[in-house]
Amino acid sequence: MAVEKYLTSLKGSIVNLDFNTVVKAAKEAMDAGVDPHIAITDGMVSGMNVVGEKFESGEYYLSELVVAGEVMKEGLKVINPYIKGDSSKRLAKVVIATVEGDHHDLGKNIVTTLLEVHGLEVVDLGKDVPTDKIIDAVKECKPDILGLSALLTMTMPKMGEAKSP
């Protein structure tokens, strides 16, 4: 099996901001038996690294960074069902959310995927999540880790609103 060709296609689809190719490449990779963890980390995350480098150098702008994240989400929709394993083998449980007032979830979604790929169970509460909902989820799920995301500086204080339950 020529795994490298699938990884190159996944990476290229992210770098080239190509929604159609990422879905096709992800399906082909899964049909060919490529390890979904490898497809994500060595294919799509590798592509996001290139996009990040292009952003830092000024070749890509914020809009391309956001589109690349959306392209990655489309690929993950195809691959994620292949990584859902036995929850009894999970290393830890994580509750993750983007805090109230913030509607940016690209970074949170990438972190969520990477945590799942590396064997952690993730309860993703979504974006614009009120503090009370986060506290309730922590009480109910009893996670080992709580992850909070905020891109906007005006929403960052939400992270400190509640003390541990």
- CATH number at 112 reads 3.40.50.280
Together in a domain, 76 and 111: no
Give, in order, the Cα–Cα distances in Å from 116 to each of 32, 36, 94, 108, 126.
22, 11, 10, 12, 15
Q: Which residues of the chain have pLDDT under 70?
A: 1, 84-90, 117, 162-165
Q: What pLDDT shows up at residue 162?
A: 63
Q: What pLDDT shows up at residue 84?
A: 63
**Host domain of residue 137:** 87-160
Together in a domain, 91 and 151: yes
Together in a domain, 66 and 131: no
Q: What pLDDT shows up at residue 54?
A: 95
Q: How many domains does the chain have?
A: 2
CATH code of 62's domain: 1.10.1240.10
Q: What pLDDT shows up at residue 145?
A: 95
Residue 165 covered by a domain = no
**What are the two backbone dihedrals, phi and then psi, of residue 2, each rounded to the nearest 5 degrees?**
-90, 75
Q: What is the pTM of this model?
A: 0.69
Q: For 80-121, what is the HEC assignment?
A: HHHCCCCHHHCCCEEEEEEECCCCCCHHHHHHHHHHHHCCCE
Together in a domain, 50 and 27: yes
Residue 77 covered by a domain = yes
Residue 78 covered by a domain = yes
